[in-house]
Amino acid sequence: MNSREKGKRGEREWAQVCRDHGYDARRGQQFCGADGSADVVGVPGFHMEIKRVQALNIHAAMSQSESDAREGDIPIVAHRKNGTPWLVTMRADDWFDLIGGKDNG
């Protein structure tokens, strides 16, 4: 399977994971074309970059998500390699905002 097809399969897998958790998610590129839109859409407030590869440059993937994200959306990278569960990578500041980080003072 070529990398493009593997990428599409990964996007479909992640969209299904999102649907399994109650979101009306779908692949973004199949409807929007290659214009920098999210790989998967349907989880409000997040720009989702999807990577289904054995070796991932997470910093490059995160940079892509950050540069493509719309104002106000949190950029994330959902990723997995063969035989492993999905992981989500995001900026630490965004994570602390989500969980309501405590002040140290």
**Domain 3-99 CATH (choose: 3.40.50.720, 3.40.605.10, 3.40.1350.10, 3.40.50.10090):** 3.40.1350.10
One digit per residue, pLDDT tens: the chain, 105 residues?
Answer: 677 888 899 999 999 999 999 999 999 975 544 556 899 999 999 999 999 999 999 999 999 999 999 999 999 999 999 999 999 999 999 999 999 967 654
C-alpha span between 27 and 41 (Å, rounded): 6
C-alpha span between 90 and 105 (Å, rounded): 25
Is there a contact between 69 and 47 (Cβ–Cβ < 8 Å)? yes
Segments making up each domain of the chain, as ranges: 3-99
Q: What is the pLDDT of residue 103?
A: 65
For 82, the 3-state DSSP assignment is coil
C-alpha span between 59 and 44 (Å, rounded): 23
Q: What is the pLDDT of residue 36?
A: 60
Please name the residue that has the structure tokens 């969209």.
Answer: 15
Q: Which amino acid is at 28?
A: G
C-alpha span between 79 and 46 (Å, rounded): 15
Q: What is the pLDDT of residue 95?
A: 96
Is there a contact between 68 and 47 (Cβ–Cβ < 8 Å)? yes
